[in-house]
Amino acid sequence: MKKQNKPNPKTVQIDAHVVDNQNRTMTTNDGVPIHDNNNTLKAGERGPSLLEDFIYQDKLAHFDRERIPERVVHARGSGAHGVFEATADMSKYTRAKFLQKGTVTPLFTRFSTVAGFKGSTDLARDVRGFSVKFYTEEGNYDLVGNNIPVFFIQDAMQFPDVVHAVKPEPDKEIPQAASAHDTFWDFISLMPESAHMSLWVMSDRAIPRSLRMMEGFGVHTFKFINDQGKATFVKFHWKPKLGVHQVAWQEAQKISGYDADFHRRDLWEAIDNGDFPQWDLGVQLIPEEDEMKYSFDILDPTKIIPEELVPVQIIGTMTLNRNPENFFAETEQIAFDPGRLVPGIDFSNDPLLQGRVFSYADTQNYRLGGPNFHELPINRPVNGKYNNQKDGFHRTDVLKGNVSYFPNSLGGGCPYHAMLKGEKGFESHAEKIDAKKIRERSTSFADHFTQARLFFNSQSEAEQQHIISAFSFELSKVNSVAVRRRELAILNQIDKKLANGVGKNLGIDPPQQLDELTLQFARQNHPNYPIKPNKPEIEKSPALSMETKAGEGSIETRKVAFLVADGVSKKSVDKMRKALKAEKAQAVLISTKVGALKYKEGDTEEVQHSYLTDASVCFDAFYTPEGDSIEVLKSEPDYIQFINEGYRHCKALAFAKGAESLIDLSYIKMKGMDKGVVLESANDLTGDFIKVMKGHRIWEREADRKIPV
Q: Which residue, judged by CB position, is nearest to ligand HDD in the bound state?
A: 129
Nearest of 692, 687, 696, 698 to residue 582 by alpha carbon: 687
Residue 617 to residue 623: CA distance in whole angstroms: 14
Distance CA 396, CA 380 (A): 12
Least distance to ligand HDD from the beta carbon of 619, Å?
29
| Integer Cα distance of 696 and 707 in angstroms | 19
Quick one: 112 or 323, whose CB is closer to ligand HDD? 112
Report helix, strand or coil for 332: helix
- Would residue 146 show up in a list of annotated catalytic residues for this protein? yes
593 in Cβ contact with 632 (< 8 Å): no
DSSP H or E run through 362 = helix 351-367
Q: Cβ distance 50 to 41 under 8 Å?
A: yes
Q: Return d(Cα 183, Cα 115) in angstroms, integer.
A: 13
Nearer to ligand HDD, 74 or 125 (CB): 74
Q: For residues 355 and 542, which CB has a smaller minimum distance to ligand HDD in the complex?
A: 355
**Longest CA span, the chain:** 89
Helix axes 461-476, 481-494, angle to 10 degrees: 160
Residue closer to ligand HDD, measured from CB, 355 or 511: 355
Residues in CB range of 496: below 8 A, 6 or more apart:
510
**Integer Cα distance of 502 and 522 in angstroms:** 23
Q: How far is the CB of 215 from ligand HDD (least distance, A)?
A: 13
What does residue 224 show for φ and ψ, rounded to 5 degrees?
A: -90, 145
Least Å distance, CB 150 to ligand HDD, is 8
Report the residue count for the chain: 709
Task: State which residue, 68 or 538, has the beta carbon closest to ligand HDD.
Answer: 68
CA-to-CA dists, residue 191 to 158, 195, 286, 444, 490, angstroms: 11, 8, 29, 16, 9
Catalytic residue among 74, 237, 466, 649: 74
Cβ atoms of 96 and 342 closer than 8 Å: yes
**Residue among 129 and 530 whose Cβ is closer to ligand HDD:** 129
CB of 594 to ligand HDD, least distance (A): 36
Of 59 and 441, which CB lies nearer to ligand HDD in the complex structure? 441
**Ranges assigned E (strand) in 40-137:** 77-86, 104-113, 128-136
Q: What is the CA radius of gyration of the chain?
A: 28
DSSP string, 406-474: SS-STTTT-SPPGGGGT--------------------GGG---SHHHHHHHHTS-HHHHHHHHHHHHHH
When the beta carbons of 151 and 294 are compared against ligand HDD, the nearer one is 151
CA-wise closest residue to 423 among 97, 10, 104, 143: 97
Return residues touching ligand HDD (CB under 6 A): 71-74, 77, 110, 112, 129, 131, 144-146, 151, 156, 159, 219-220, 301, 336, 352, 355-356, 359-360, 363-364
Q: Is 390 buried (19+), middle (13-18) or exposed (0-12) by CB count in 10 A?
A: exposed
Taking each helix axis from N to C end, the angle separating 481-494 and 496-506, rounded to the nearest 10 degrees, works out to 160
Query: Residues 8, 140, 146, 323: which is the catalytic one?
Result: 146
Minimum CB distance to ligand HDD smaller for 77 or for 306: 77
Just list the catalytic residues. Answer: 74, 146
